[in-house]
């Protein structure tokens, strides 16, 4: 999985190699199997909304489009009514907020690119648009009561980041120990690792 700019740092480490060890229990295996299995069908978003979201996920995570299936996971959450359980006053429920936000992003794309929607633009144009939404350099009326900046940060990016870092490939990338039951950790001090953890790797401090 090293395509389209995706840099894997710890390519010697695979959390899933611990699948049959005491680090995983049956429940966790079934949960992760489901997550790594066929993505759920699109049931909440329209095809257009979904295309916008998929394209946005790819830019927000610097991953290939559609891989991993973050947009499907978000769609599934909204279909099932799974959310954080709170929203700001005078804002609509989460599903409506998503639709408004994605439509606002798409509308801004069409406005800037002579009618071309977000999903059809090239990567750098998409990045520029996302940045614009992030800083609020867009028509705020297209982003509902929440506004572009809050939509970007508190809804879109927050969900995308959460879903990506819920996946074993992301855990491998950051060297996270992963599931840990019944076996936890023995060596928990500074510069210590258990043999079932990721190898040591120096801090990059922001450099690739």
In sequence order, which residues have a C-beta less than 8 Å from that of residue 35 and are 6 or more positions away?
73, 166, 167
Backbone angles phi, psi at 199, to 5 degrees: -65, 160
Rounded Cα–Cα distance for residues 122 and 184 (Å): 45
CA–CA separation, 57 and 54 (whole Å):
5
Stretch that binds another protein, among 24-32, 36-44, 95-103, 113-121 (CB under 8 A): 24-32
Name the DSSP class of 96.
Answer: H
Q: Is 111 in the site for another protein (CB under 8 A)?
A: no
Residue of 31, 46, 111, 139 interacting with another protein (CB under 8 A): 31
Q: How far is the CB of 103 from another protein (least distance, A)?
A: 20
Query: ∠ CA(29), CA(34), CA(39), 5° rounding?
Result: 155
- In this chain, which of 95, 120, 127, 145 binds another protein, going by CB under 8 A? 127
Tell me which of 66, 128, 132, 154 binds another protein, using CB under 8 A: 154
Instruction: Report the residue count for the chain.
Output: 208
In this chain, which of 28, 36, 40, 142 binds another protein, going by CB under 8 A?
Answer: 28
Name the one range near another protein by CB under 8 A: 2-10, 46-54, 96-104, 139-147.
2-10
- Name the one range near another protein by CB under 8 A: 44-52, 104-112, 114-122, 191-199: 191-199
The reply on whether position 85 binds another protein by CB under 8 A is yes
Whether the Cβ atoms of residue 59 and residue 123 lie closer than 8 Å to each other: yes
- DSSP letter for 118, please: G
Residues 84 and 94: their CA atoms lie apart, in Å, by 9
Window contacting another protein (CB under 8 A); options: 37-45, 46-54, 111-119, 187-195: 187-195
For another protein, which residue of 37, 89, 115, 124 counts as binding (CB under 8 A)? 89
Of residues 33-72, those binding another protein (CB under 8 A): 35, 59-62
């Amino acid at each position: 999985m090293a395509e389209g700019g995706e840099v894997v740092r710890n390519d010697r480490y695979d959390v899933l190699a611990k699948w049959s060890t005491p680090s995983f229990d049956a429940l966790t295996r079934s949960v992760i199997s489901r997550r790594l299995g066929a993505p759920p069908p699109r049931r909440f978003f329209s095809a257009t909304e979904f295309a916008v979201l998929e394209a946005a996920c790819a830019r927000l995570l610097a991953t290939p489009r559609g891989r991993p299936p973050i947009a499907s996971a978000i769609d599934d959450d909204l279909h099932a009514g799974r959310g954080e359980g709170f929203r700001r006053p005078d804002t609509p429920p989460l599903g409506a907020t998503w639709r408004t936000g994605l439509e606002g992003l798409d509308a801004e794309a069409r406005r800037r690119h002579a009618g071309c929607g977000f999903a059809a633009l090239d990567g750098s144009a998409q990045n520029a648009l996302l940045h614009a939404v992030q800083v609020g350099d867009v028509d705020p009326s297209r982003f509902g009561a929440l506004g572009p900046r809050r939509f970007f940060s508190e809804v879109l990016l927050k969900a995308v980041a959460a879903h990506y870092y819920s996946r074993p490939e992301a855990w491998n990338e950051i060297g996270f120990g992963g599931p840990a039951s019944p076996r936890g950790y023995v060596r928990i001090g500074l510069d210590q690792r258990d043999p079932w953890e990721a190898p040591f790797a120096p801090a990059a401090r922001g450099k690739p």
